[in-house]
A and B are shown apart, each in its own frame.
Chain A
Amino acid sequence: MSLEQLVGTVELPDLRKFLPEFILLVLAFTLFTLELTFKGEKKRRLLLTVSYAGYALVLLSLFVPWRHPGDTFYASFTNDALAVTVKLFATLLTMAVLAFVNAYYRHFRSFYGEFYYLLAFTLLGVFILASSYNLVILYVALELVSVGFYVLTALFRGSTASKEGAFKYLVLGGLSIALASYGAAFMYVYAGSLDLREILSYEGQDLHYLILGLVFFLIGFAVKIGAVPFHFWLPDAYQGAPTPVTALMASVGKLAFFIPLLRVMPLVQEKFSVVWTVTVGVIAALTMLFGNFVALVQKDVKRMLAYSSIAHSGYLLAAAAVAKELGMKALLYFLLVYGVMAAGSFLVLALLERGRGWRNELEYFSGLRFTLPAVAFAFFIYLIALLGVPPTAGFAGKALVFMALSFDELWWLAFVMILSTAVSTGYYVRLVVLMFMKEPVVETGRPVSAAAERLSLALTALASVLLGALPGLIWFLIEASVASILGR
């Protein structure tokens, strides 16, 4: 081989396709350096300001990869509409959460400067996870996101619950990643390639390797999204984590972990659509039933919302069971809007927890309308969105899932979904009744909220309604994303 030929095969990475990731990496290291250099109150404000500026820059830079779709790094990094959409929402949600961070940690006397660069690295993991078909890259990205979340969960001074949650998350998460990599190895044996697209379109002899590999690989993700029976870590981690981190895990985290699943969907529909539908459908049914029934008996609202997050994984998986275009659209739409509602609902808790003597128990929410009317109203919006009352985004999501299910005539799953939504009515409406129709029973201090926090809550509440009432606002993103993974 001559030198020219050798150089010819070397592809120069196209910066335009991974500019946001690059900025994020620079941001993470900048935050790291700042964290080491500065001290005290000045550091907190500096880190927050630099984070905001950095994420804003990332948002702006998303236009570049949107304009230049295509693979780079020898097809191990895929930049398509789906990736850009996910990155857009992940960044926006992170910015919404960021408003609450400093005040929250100050209240609990638990400020760690590490939070900011860990967050940036986690988001980098999310970005990469959203834009790859390569098993090794997916594996690394998965690790990056997970390790980020383990540490962020544990970063809570003096809270044993947070350590317990993080440890459970670590053990089960580690196991799941091991399973995923084991699955990846099997798939490599089957097709001799690490690219999921090639693996799933390869016409090999040893199909059992592929099945085994795919099953292990997907179990790895099932653990991450909290699907039953792999959900045991989730309530503890969600409850133990600092609430802004819970908000991140429920929104950005869930968004990231579902994307590889979404990318696999078009690829399975030829080879084993029936097996896929039945397996994913059964897991979906179990997940939504379990999540909702257990949420119904929770006394702690944060834990209740954690179980509701499990239930929503079930609804999302129900959409994923329909490996057709409509199923993918339903999954992606519901995923994006669920992130908004979930972030909002946990952020309300993050705000309330700063009230003197506040605990996230049901009776503390009694008469919230009288003590904190605006917060109660925002929480009301998130709750009805999670329940799926029209015209909120949660309703549009459920309607799309129903459409997807009737597309494949999965009536049994549709009825399970009706049943589990019926169960969920109990706990969401209970909170609404408590907040608006009862008098306050516990004396607590009122948290002081900053303008940025109020803005963040107002915008997420507004988005929870608007994205449902006028889905056209983001539908073009959904169409483009699904078209991109279908290879159109």
Chain B
Amino acid sequence: MRTISSWGRLSAFPHQLIALNDPARIASLLRDSPKPGIAYGMGRSYGDVCLNPEGVLWLTTGLDHFIAFDESTGRLTCEAGVLLRDIQRLTIPHGWILPVTPGTQLVTVGGAIANDVHGKSHHVSGSFGDHIERIRLMRTDGEIIECGPHSRPDWFAATVGGLGLTGVIVEAEIQLRRVAGPWLDTETLPFADLDEFFRLTDDSETAWEHTVAWIDCISGGMGGKAGRGIFMRGNHADVGQRPEPKARQRTMPFTPPLSLVNRLSLRPFNITYYNLKKWRAGRAILHYEPFFYPLDNLQEWNRMYGSRGFFQYQSVVPREVGQDATQAMLREIARSGDGSFLAVLKTFGNRQPPGMLSFPQPGVTLALDFPNHGDKTHRLFARLDAIVRAAKGRLYPAKDARMSRALFAAGYPRLPEFLNYRDAGISSELSRRLIEN
């Protein structure tokens, strides 16, 4: 038994680890598992979707083999433990890139499918599952289910965004997108408030493939119009050969006893960040790694929230009420005095998600992080929940460690349908919290 935490570092409980390294042995390892388990890749989800205290974790990072890549069609087949980073480093020199990646590329293909992750390109490319052509799913009773958007589409829809609960994803086929090289033509634009943000994002949706905004969630204060920030947009660009930036890997060396993100630090942090970005606003050619994954070079950055860990709170609300709901959430946060440094705002495109439990839906998504201050933080979340629920929105399970069953059920109306596809030998802390078993 080993102590395992997820990315939010909110809990540390013993788990029994079983490494799935050899595809030929997975079936027997799953069948003979002493207790129900859940697949565990890089542990980058924030809450409890990848945890199973006192139970089994099936480690998938040993399933890190490429199986086939067709340079003429951009079709890649690989095992589920392959990292998105390794795919892109392999394929970009050949002119292919993943159309959708989240804010870190240090996640496995299996995790990206099971959480149906999204990125800055949602309004153009949808979510990760929109580019999966085939999944090989291994059930704990030994059955192998091959599914895709056109074959056994019901299993596919259950497994994409299925939180690992329909079986263990062992292999996938991904359709990549053509790209000229690793460079992006980017533009950074400061905005003063949410009105301006929504104008910018609407104006950018047709001409820019990647859009995202950072918002300074404590600007403006209580009465004022919170929501100044920095809007970033980018397109892949053909700028020929250039020397690649030398990424310097750093590691957060220790876990401070108290969060470094706190009332004292947050205001100067945000003011500095805003002004630095504002000062450097404008067009720039950027390499894809710093543009998409700015935190990947600071290993274990999650430690900066101190020994009690931190919560992510990511919601999506429909566009019609998006601005009001976002404004209301920012107001609640400003009132609480707690704030978030990594506050990210983005509009999702107007498209139906591929999975029954996929998070993205048309509207506005706001992602926030909060150091864990116990009850005080939970009280703030309860107020934010009320806003999300009233707006007919939902929260992102990959980041959640505390939403209620009622909110989950209200946000995910296809949950009853999904339950038909669950694997009885699979259980996670999240499934017990939100679905009973």
Do A and B form a real pair?
Answer: no
Binding site for B on A (CB under 8 A): none
Binding site for A on B (CB under 8 A): none
